[in-house]
Structure 1
Amino acid sequence: MCGIHAVLTSPKVSSSSHDLSTDLKSCLCNRGPDYLGQVQRRGPAPWSLTFTSTVLALRGDHVAQQPLGDLHIGSVLCWNGEAWRIDGHPVNGNDGEAIYGLLTKASATENNEAAILSVLRSIEGPFAFVYYDAPSQTVYYGRDRLGRRSLMINAQDEGTLTLCSIAESGDASWKEVEADGIYVLHLESSSALPPVKRHDWITEQDQADFEKTRTVVTNSPNYQVSGIGRFNMSLPAEDTVGLAPSSSSVAMLRQQLVESLRPRALNIPQPPHANANAACRTRVAVLFSGGLDCTVLARLTHDLLDPDQGIDLINVAFENPRVVAQLEKDSKGQPFDLYEACPDRITGRRSFAELQKVCPERAFRFLAVNVPYSETLAHRHQVISLMHPHNTEMDLSIGYALYFAARGQGCCYETSSSSPDSQTQIAYTTPARVLLSGLGADELFGGYGRHAVAFVRQGYAGLVDELKLDVSRLGKRNLGRDDRVMAHWGKEVRFPYLDERLVRWAIETPAWEKCDYEHAETSGVEPGKRVLRLLALELGMENVAKEKKRAIQFGARTAKMESGRVKGTTLIS
């Protein structure tokens, strides 16, 4: 995870526009606490360019100092994200350095723009970037095809353009860069900004080749998903067998998840300033509600990590004044723990116990993050600023939960070496700088209530349409918001369910091999996300397999803190 800031200006704009405000610099350094760098370049007269990067070092054996570039060529790359594969091959070492090398090599070719676009299209992983190709005096920028990393743009003045991972606090003119392609700007000898051209993630030739192979089954305006693959629109035959633990899709999902987790959970370096004599044995934490999606991730991560590495399970619960008032009324004067009464805390404790049972040798640590209402209010302005341009009550309630979860400060129970049968509650902050999230599973495997409604109304035809709608807008989800909120604590959130290869497999798999509403009672688990529920059963977690879907803002009780009548779509006042 890194922070990006790039500004292009002409002389009619004050040179002060290059300067970072104290607040913005602080926020960028929070995203990347390991290094801060800045370089300047002269574009074609009258343009000047300033690039700033902060670095959270999570790849390779050293801190790659950004912005990446050299004075001889003059090109510059600000890179924020992870390239798990380039052109289908795993990336060893620092990915930013590897990408910069490929971009400069592409720049030296005869058709350099096409070659540079080809390099960027070949990257698999979550990222945002700004690249200045000095030989052609061209700026490239964008976000990955699923929008998993944040990039904001401010082009309010015709003589300046600013790109940044986060918005300047209080400036409403910042917008999110859409995750719909690669943006290209050719600088010219003019004081006005030249037009920006967008290039799709899928090339025109690839699109044409795909059109030739399209069948009647896939004949739909949304059959292509973010340039990743085609959505399977086929419907089941009348004699289709229901999903079972032995179904091939269950084994395939396990294989896909393991391959997705492998680069995301392994080889995470020790923080550069850590004490070498006290090497941290916990590098990974899971955003842990205790639900199906996150618990399966925790269970499979256990299979991959060395036995002596810990895994922290971060579970958040909030003091919601409206709910507390009702609890006090219902308790009739009896003492109660308002945090332990939160739905996600109850589910989390239960799933934690099941993980301990099936993986007794793993040091899972349940980190209970309890957030008093006063602390929520104290951080309200910061969360709202990081969320921008998202500004609804639902955005805020989700933002609160992710923000405090990523901070990772709470309490846990530890067993005393002198008294193995007793446990002591201690204050604890996770040292993990990588957070795993289960986001994406509901869209891919049919976990929302509206999927069941669609099936009731129109059968598999309706379900397929609803699933297609969800996956087609994955790139427009609120992942940029989530990135800004969580990266504020120097953490990187990774989404194993949103690996490009897993997404491609999921969208190309027929709907009835993912969720099985036609045979609702045959396997003992509900039909929504049944393929994932059956995988949980295979992994020995019967209770987890039966957990129902619950939105984070209700599970952690961040929703409707003041009034039960506030709608999620209400704008923040």
Structure 2
Amino acid sequence: MCGIAGVFGNPESDLEVKKMLAALGHRGPDACGIYTAGDLSIGNTLLKITGDMPQPLTGIGALVLNGEIYNFRELKAEIGIKTDSDTELLFSLIETGVRKGNTPINAVFSALSKVNGDYALAYVCGRELVLARDPSGVKPLFYCSGERMEKPEIAFASEKKALACTGRKAKPFPQGGILSFNIENRKIAEKVVVRSIKTKPPEERISVEKEALFHLKAALERAVELRLTSTAGIAFSGGIDSTFLAAIAKRIDPDISLYAVGLPDSHDIAQADYAAQAIGMKKNLKVHFLSPKEIEAAVPQVIYATESTDPMKVTIGLPLYIVAKTAGEDGKRVLLTGQGADELFGGYSRHEGFFDQGPDVLDREIYSDLENISTINLERDDMVTMANSVELRVPFLDKDVIKTGLAVSPELKIVKKDGLYTRKYILRKAAEGLLPPEILWKEKKAMQYGTGVQKVLDWLARDSGFSKKQGKHIEKYLMQVASEKRFGFVNER
């Protein structure tokens, strides 16, 4: 996990990239490197988790990677390479493709088609720059292209603030996208080459409950196993998603730490304590009691991290920010969360209405949720965790878990009986035997309410003179904080 940045088409690209990497220092405190060739520079700030390979890697071309390739040990055995670095493995796959005569973008596409991972990367070869992002957009990537200094250019970075510090406005790179840029004769290639590795809806469905349970359990157990390291912890709220992950992880690492935050009298603290006790992990639970003062102090940090004053982003991002901070101070570099379970298995109340319109309607909505999960949830979650140099990992968005989840019939995701809905039905059934019924079938409050953060922000906004009756009082308070801190890049479009 790390931060990446680059500029193509600017004679001062190396100086520009150095500025951008300085803004990304929190994402990679262990090392920093830059590769420059003429008017092109790419760079990396490194957070060591898998292997100890400095970036950029260079050969025929050069590569910077932000992310993890979880099946790299299987792939390295398959191609016969000796390495403890997933970055080196991916670089070898790409360079092999180039040596065989493939174009850089096709070499990247071929390599990424083999991997199971979360990543954002840049590969340069000659006058071609290839950018790519994982299918779910777990790892963030932003880019811009246009005319500066009377020359065409492309710039990219892991966070918008890195581009903003050099006067650039950025847009999110498409999740599952692979784009190739070429600058020749003072022009960006008129037709940018585009490939996609997005997960497609399955052709065959799993409608038998027993079969669905078998495949889902196997995929999720493997996803958790691939993401565990000696420095991993779990963001734990005591709900079905995080408790299921904890119960699976316990089988692999009985000592894995669970991190819960909330006001002393909050729902999430009580629920986390109860759930940890129920699955025999009370000794693993580490609780951080929030105070209004601590929440107030964290508000500008979360605004800066998320680059937004959107109340939803801040109220959800704030407790996760403090969870990551707590885990980081405890020596953890990886944090597993249950993000993606609601999108994949029909966990939102609005999914009930789509289910009533028909299974196909719910199917389309779930697929739409997954197509937009990066901009709605994942970019926020990555930025608040990486603000504390802690890597976010999401087992429910594993490549094989998504394939299995999309294949499961919608009638197994939401069940309606006697006018009552059971959301995420198949996921709850998959956890039977690991979790007690009172956790399996219980609905949980959203994080911002369960931790008490929403209540405190409501009070802070009113205490700052913003009337709740006049509307948007929390947003006005957050905008005031951003203005006082002079976060000029916040909410740029």
Unaligned 5+ runs, structure 1: 43-47, 203-225, 269-281, 318-338, 410-427
Q: Which residue of structure 2 aligns with residue 557 of structure 1?
A: 452
Q: Which residue identity lines up with residue 59 of structure 1 in the other structure?
A: T
State whether residues 95 and 107 of structure 2, in contact with CA within 8 Å, keep that contact through their aligned partners in structure 1.
no
Letter in 1 for 2:343: E
Kindly indicate whether structure 1 or structure 2 has the higher relative contact order, using CA contacts under 8 Å at least 6 residues apart: 1
Contact 1:3 1:28 in 2 (8 A): yes
Structure 1 residue 351 displacement after superposition: 0.7
Give, as a single letter, the amino acid of the residue that structure 2 aligns with 1:436: L
- The match for 2:303 among 381, 384, 388 is 384
Aligned to 2:486: none
Amino acid aligned to 1:397:
T
Matches within 5 A, 1:479-518: 479-518=378-417
Task: Single out whichever of 539-548 and 500-509 deviates more from structure 2.
Answer: 539-548
Match of 1:451 among 340, 346, 351: 351
Structure 2 contact 31–47 (Cα < 8 Å) conserved: yes
Distance in 1, matches of 2:475 and 2:322, equals 22
Q: Which aligned pairs between 1:65-214 and structure 2 lie closer than 5 A?
A: 65-70=54-59, 73=60, 75-85=61-71, 89=75, 93-113=84-104, 114-134=106-126, 137-155=127-145, 157-158=147-148, 159=151, 160-168=153-161, 173-190=169-186, 192-195=187-190, 197-202=192-197
Identity of aligned residues (%): 26
**Distance change >3 Å, CA 373–CA 175, structure 1 → 2:** farther
Residues 393, 570 of structure 1: 8 Å contact kept? yes
Closer, same or farther: CA 405–342 of 1 in aligned 2, 3 Å? same
Q: 1:87 to 1:108 in 2, by over 3 A?
A: farther
C-alpha contact 1:292 1:545 (8 A) present in aligned 2: yes
Instruction: Please report how far the alpha carbon of residue 391 of structure 1 lies from its aligned counterpart in structure 2 after TM superposition.
Output: 4.1
Partner of 1:53: 44
Task: State how far apart, in whole Å, the 2-side matches of 1:350 and 1:540 are.
Answer: 12
Give the SS at the match of 2:19: coil
Q: Distance between the aligned counterparts of 1:369 and 1:303, measured in 2?
A: 25
Tell me the matched-pair count.
456
Q: 2 CA distance for matches of 1:499 and 1:554? A: 28
Q: Give the match for residue 547 of structure 1.
A: 442
| Counterparts of 1:14 and 1:352, CA distance in 2 | 51
Q: Calculate the TM-score normalised by the size of structure 2.
A: 0.83
Q: After the TM superposition, which residues 351-500 of structure 1 pair with which residues of structure 2 at under 5 Å, given as runs?
A: 351-356=275-280, 364-388=283-307, 390-408=308-326, 429-455=329-355, 457-500=356-399
Amino acid at match of 1:447: G
Is the alpha carbon distance of 1:19 and 1:451 closer, same or farther for their aligned partners in structure 2, counting shifts above 3 Å? Answer: closer
Bigger Cα Rg: 1
Q: Does 1:287 align with 2:287?
A: no
Give 5+ residue unaligned stretches, structure 2.
Answer: 78-82, 463-467, 480-493
TM-fit CA distance, 1:196: 6.4
Q: Is 1:257 paired with 2:220?
A: yes
Q: Distance in 2 between matches of 1:494 and 1:545?
A: 23
Determine if contact 2:136/2:371 at 8 Å carries over to the other structure.
no
Give SS of 2:422's match. Answer: coil
The whole-number CA distance in structure 2 between the counterparts of 1:431 and 1:107 is 40
2: CA distance, partners of 1:28 / 1:298: 31
Deviations 1:269-301 (A, max 9, x none): xxxxxxxxxxxxx62211111100000000000
Query: For residues 107 and 498 of structure 1, what CA distance do their matches in structure 2 show?
Result: 30
Aligned CA distance change for structure 1 residues 557 and 476 (closer, same or farther; 3 Å): same
Work out whether 1:36 is the aligned partner of 2:26.
no
What is the letter of the counterpart of residue 378 of structure 2? Answer: L
Query: What do residues 60-80 of structure 1 show as CA deviations (whole Å, max 9, x unaligned)?
Result: 3xx11111114xx3x211101
Work out whether 1:348 is the aligned partner of 2:348.
no
Amino acid at match of 1:119: A
Contact 1:436 1:493 in 2 (8 A): yes
Q: Counterpart amino acid of 1:256?
A: A
| Alpha-carbon RMSD | 3.0
Which structure shows the bigger proportion of residues in helix conformation? 2
Asked if the contact 1:138–1:186 (Cα under 8 Å) also holds between the matched residues in 2, the reply is yes
2:17–2:43 CA contact under 8 A, matched in 1: no
Q: State whether structure 2 residue 202 is matched by structure 1 residue 230.
A: yes
- Do 1:131 and 1:139's aligned partners in 2 also have CA atoms closer than 8 Å? yes
Letter matched to residue 293 of structure 1:
D
Provide the rounded CA distance (Å) in 1 between the counterparts of 2:48 and 2:346: 36
